Structure formats: structure tokens, C-alpha cells
């Protein structure tokens, strides 16, 4: 098995509140036995979210198919990524996409972000 990032797309069962879905997905992300958590976010509307995990060995890959207690009963889809072989590759793919398809760098976008008023 070679290292590779996987995208996990997870939808909570009907009737799960947004708060509960967020907490359960965060618990899933925090479980280090599934690999290195590279990125995650939660969905607006339909409760659930997506996670990118850098999977480095067979044990971590096997854990991806086991939702465990936090996501038991959820609809899960796992997809190995083509170019994001590691967390560093995921970051490089983000930069490549921005620069190659939109002629903008992440640094330029960050410089243009308004200050957080909080």
C-alpha cells in the first residue's frame, strides 16, 4: 500500500441536528487511527461534511471503511485522490488549481481577504 489522500463524504441520517452532525464529524476527524486529517468542512443544509485524510498504511486505510461509533448509520463515500498522495500533495494541488485555472495564488487571495470583524 502506498500513501494516498482519500476524500470521505459523509451524510448524517435524517433527523440529526446540525449541531450533532458537526460534533460527530469532528469526532471522526479527531480519530488519528484513520490517518492524518488534512482538511475538513461541514455542509450547510444537508447535515454532514467532507474530510481529506492522508492514509499512510493498511491499518489506516481499513479504518476508513469503519465509520465507528461517531458515524454509525451515516452514508459514507470514500474516494482515493489521484494527485494528492500526501498532505503536502493536497496543498500543492490546491495551489496548482488556483494558479493554473484562475491565475491567482493563495497568497494573493489571503492578502485580499477582509479583516475578520470579530
Residue 23 maps to a domain: yes
Residue 68 maps to a domain: yes
Q: Which domain holds residue 34?
A: 4-85
pLDDT (0 to 100) of residue 116:
65
Q: Which CATH number does the domain housing residue 79 bear?
A: 3.30.70.1060
Residue 74 maps to a domain: yes
Average pLDDT, the chain: 94
Burial environment of residue 6 by CB neighbours within 10 A (0 to 12, 13 to 18, 19 or more) = buried
Residue 53 maps to a domain: yes
The total number of structural domains in the chain stands at 1
Entry pTM: 0.90
Evaluate if residue 118 carries a pLDDT over 60.
no
Amino acid at each position: 500500500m502506498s500513501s494516498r489522500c482519500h476524500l470521505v463524504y459523509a451524510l448524517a441520517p435524517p433527523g440529526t441536528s446540525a449541531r450533532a452532525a458537526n460534533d460527530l464529524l469532528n469526532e471522526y476527524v479527531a480519530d488519528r487511527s484513520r490517518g492524518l486529517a488534512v482538511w475538513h468542512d461541514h455542509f450547510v443544509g444537508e447535515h454532514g461534511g467532507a474530510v481529506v485524510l492522508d492514509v499512510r498504511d493498511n491499518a489506516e486505510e481499513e479504518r476508513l471503511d469503519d465509520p465507528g461509533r461517531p458515524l454509525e448509520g451515516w452514508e459514507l463515500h470514500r474516494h482515493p485522490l489521484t494527485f494528492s498522495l500526501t498532505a503536502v500533495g493536497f496543498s500543492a494541488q490546491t495551489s496548482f488549481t488556483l494558479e493554473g485555472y484562475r491565475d491567482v495564488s493563495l497568497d494573493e487571495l489571503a492578502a485580499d481577504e477582509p479583516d475578520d470583524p470579530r
